[in-house]
Structure 1
């Protein structure tokens, strides 16, 4: 299992890193579009759409994404799309985690079929907009989620005692969440203290709103990275599966890798303006 995980990770890095660092924005956007269309297929499967419906849903997602590019890459015209996704995560995300409705049935499934398209297309626009601002900027946004995840893993292993959401994801703890938050805060303070020349999410926020408010914004982003993670965990638990798919051997599916990014990306790009 470990060998499979390592091989998959190496292949992913060999594809993603060169495209992110050196390829034109259009090529970067095309690669992200492919990943999100696959994520749409997984989203439909988790909602238990029957037969070939997940494939049809992925096709609709591809068409919606292609149509949305008429808004322009990183343009202000895409802002309402980001706002719609943000509203979903701010309102529906916490509500679902607290009330735990049956998502793959009735009105909730219909709602999530529509919301999924908005969430995934908005994620693409946010990621491409971040890439337009620079390689260092897009990596800094991703780093917020990665640091929160890594910090939570190690802090949870070392100190985890109090379950964060035992009915949804028994492995997550409050201590782990605090460790992830602390990792982000430490790195953010280091970036602001270094006065890094390359544009990053932290430096851009720091220049606009100051240190204290930047840390508050990052706290919100860390919190919603957890919301995204738990939301997908709840979808999987209700669907009776461990992973969103087996597209990435040893790592599960696309949604398993981007669940925390789905709320963070549109929120971050809205906050940065």
Structure 2
């Protein structure tokens, strides 16, 4: 299993790193469009779509992303999209976690499909816009989610006592959440210092927040984004539990599916663009 995970991770890096650092946006947008289309197929399967219908949902999502790229939204989408995504993720995420795995399947299939495809489309749009903003900016958002996840894992193992959502993800604890938030605060301080010391192609998310919202605003914004990364993770977990699935698919050997790798990123990227647009 470990060998599979390493090989898959190296293969993904071999594809993603060159397009991430390529100056034009279209290579990164194209590769991530394919991944998001695969995630749309996974979402359909998890929510009761037959094989053909699930493929159709993935293709439809990829076409919607391609259309957005064609009209120029891959570089500069309306900021209203980020704020609508914020509203939907905050209200919808809280509702989904509250009803849990048993309540989610009670929604109609069509509504579940639409909600998932919309979330994936806006997340891809935010990814493309973050890439257009600069490599330093997009990496700072990626690392927020990764730092929160890593700090939460080790903090939860060391201090975890109170379960966060046992019916959805038994391994998560409140202590893990607090540890993740602490880890992101440390990351934010370090990244702002690096922005000031090194020549970078763009301001990071943290520097933007500090300049626009001040220190208190930066702290509140990154804590909010860390919390929403947990909401994204829990939302995908409850959908899988509702479907009786361990992984979203087997597309990434050793890692599960695309949704398993990007669940926490789905709310964070559009919400990060909303916060940094204030």
Normalised TM-score (structure 1): 0.94
Q: Distance in 1 between matches of 2:263 and 2:39?
A: 10
**Over residues 181-204 of structure 1, what are the superposed CA-to-partner deviations in whole Å (9 max), with x where a residue is unaligned?**
111001112233452453100011
Find the residue that maps to 1:244 and give its secondary structure: coil
Q: Does 1:50 align with 2:50?
A: yes
Q: CA deviation at 1:125?
A: 1.2
1:221 aligns to 2:225 (yes or no): yes
Alignment pair present for 1:208 and 2:209: no
Q: CA deviation at 1:48?
A: 1.4
CA distance in 2, matches of 1:18, 1:226: 29
Q: 2: CA distance between counterparts of 1:134 and 1:160?
A: 37
SS in 1 for 2:104: coil
| Equivalent runs, 1:45-194 vs 2, <5 Å | 45-69=45-69, 70-77=71-78, 79-100=79-100, 102-107=103-108, 109-194=109-194
Aligned CA distance change for structure 1 residues 106 and 153 (closer, same or farther; 3 Å): closer
Distance 2:53 2:191 in 1: 46
Hey, what does 2:18 align to over in structure 1? Answer: 18
Gaps of at least 5 residues in structure 2 are: none
Moved more, 207-216 or 190-199: 190-199
Question: 2:73 & 2:85 partners in 1: Cα distance?
Answer: 18
Alpha-carbon separation, structure 1, partners of 2:2 and 2:141? 28
Contact 2:77 2:129 in 1 (8 A): no
Q: Note the aligned Cα RMSD (angstroms).
A: 1.5
- Which residue number in structure 1 is paired with residue 266 of structure 2? 262
CA distance in 1: counterparts of 2:130 and 2:168, whole angstroms: 31
Cα distance between partner residues in 2 of 1:53 and 1:14? 31
Query: Distance between the aligned counterparts of 2:103 and 2:68, measured in 1?
Result: 30
Equivalent pair of 1:93/1:228 in contact (CA under 8 Å): yes
Residue in 2 aligned with 1:239? 243
CA distance, structure 2, for counterparts of residue 122 and residue 227 of structure 1: 16
